[in-house]
């Protein structure tokens, strides 16, 4: 390998980050804050691109949608659609019972579980399951740094939180986990499983309220 090729080999350094004399990223508080800010900026940029792609796709499916309508969550998220439909029904008949009840608390709890699941999959470095019927499970590999104690603690915390949430869902009913996987994780319009989803989300809300109070 020539000298010029050696310079190009390997992953490029991230610019603008404080480094130790050895060349490694500094573990100082200021350097870590810089890394965290860059990660937030990256996530924000990815979110913007995802929204634009989703907007285009929704307008391809339904050309009658305006850009503003296509950007609304209920046109791409099943749980957002459930919330919007319940709010509309509540406005029309505020005093009547609604069998498709899906409140803001249900929606917020569903979002939180979706984020927890994503964090858990990242913590165990798992492959993405194809669907809830993928009985092979979430395989992964342990590529984590065994000497990074802080990362190990974060991963253990995420894994413990997810296991507690999953146990609560399984305890809430026989079809509740299937409803959570289909509607929240896979974004499938399985509206017939809404009662099972509500049971799971109610149980999760209670679990997290108790954890916060402890």
Q: pLDDT tens across 173-212, in order?
A: 999 999 999 999 998 889 999 999 999 999 999 999 998 8
pLDDT digits (tens, 9 = 90+) for 53-90: 666 565 555 566 566 655 555 556 889 889 988 999 99
Helix, strand or coil for residue 125? Answer: coil
User: From CA 190, how far away is CA 197, in angstroms rounded?
Assistant: 10
User: From CA 179, how far away is CA 189, in angstroms rounded?
Assistant: 10
Q: What's the pTM value of the predicted model, to 2 decimals?
A: 0.62
Q: Mean pLDDT, to the nearest integer, of 127-138?
A: 49
The proportion of the chain whose per-residue pLDDT surpasses 70, expressed as a percent, equals: 57
Assigned token pair, 173: 């009913």
Does residue 165 contact residue 129 with C-beta atoms inside 8 Å? no
Assigned token pair, 152: 């190990």
Helix, strand or coil for residue 19? Answer: strand
Helix, strand or coil for residue 181? Answer: helix
DSSP secondary-structure letter at 126? B
Helix, strand or coil for residue 44? Answer: helix
User: From CA 195, how far away is CA 32, in angstroms rounded?
Assistant: 44
Helix, strand or coil for residue 64? Answer: coil
Assigned token pair, 94: 């505020």
How far is the CA of 172 from the CAs of 135, 176, 201, 206, 207, in angstroms?
Answer: 21, 7, 9, 11, 11
Give the pLDDT of residue 135: 44
Q: Mean pLDDT, to the nearest integer, of 119-147?
A: 59
Cα Rg for the chain, rounded, in angstroms? 22
User: From CA 83, how far away is CA 106, in angstroms rounded?
Assistant: 8
The proportion of the chain whose per-residue pLDDT surpasses 90, expressed as a percent, equals: 35
Helix, strand or coil for residue 100? Answer: coil
In the predicted structure, residue 136 carries a pLDDT above the cut 50: no
Of residues 81 and 151, the one with the higher pLDDT is: 81
Of residues 105 and 8, the one with the higher pLDDT is: 105
User: From CA 168, how far away is CA 203, in angstroms rounded?
Assistant: 6
Q: Mean pLDDT, to the nearest integer, of 94-108?
A: 92
Does residue 151 contact residue 145 with C-beta atoms inside 8 Å? yes
pLDDT digits (tens, 9 = 90+) for 31-43: 555 666 777 777 6
Nearest of 15, 193, 188, 184 to residue 111 by alpha carbon: 184
């Amino acid at each position: 390998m020539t000298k010029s090729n050696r310079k190009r080999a390997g992953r490029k350094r991230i610019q603008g980050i404080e480094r130790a004399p050895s060349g490694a990223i500094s573990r100082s508080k200021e350097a870590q804050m810089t890394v965290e800010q860059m990660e937030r900026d990256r996530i924000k940029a990815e979110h913007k691109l995802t929204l634009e792609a989703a907007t285009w796709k929704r307008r391809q499916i339904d050309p009658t949608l305006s850009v503003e309508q296509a950007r609304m969550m209920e046109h791409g998220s099943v749980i957002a659609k459930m919330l919007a439909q319940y709010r509309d029904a509540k406005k029309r008949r505020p005093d009547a019972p609604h069998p498709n009840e899906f409140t803001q608390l249900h929606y917020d709890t569903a979002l939180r579980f979706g984020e927890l699941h994503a964090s858990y999959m990242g913590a165990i470095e798992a492959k993405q399951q194809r669907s809830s019927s993928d009985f092979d499970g979430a395989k992964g590999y342990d590529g984590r740094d065994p000497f990074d104690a802080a990362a190990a603690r974060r991963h253990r915390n995420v894994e413990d939180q997810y296991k507690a949430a999953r146990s609560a869902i399984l305890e809430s009913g026989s079809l509740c986990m299937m409803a959570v996987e289909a509607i929240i994780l896979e974004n499938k319009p399985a509206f017939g499983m809404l009662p099972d989803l509500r049971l799971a989300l109610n149980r999760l809300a209670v679990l997290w309220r108790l954890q916060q109070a402890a």
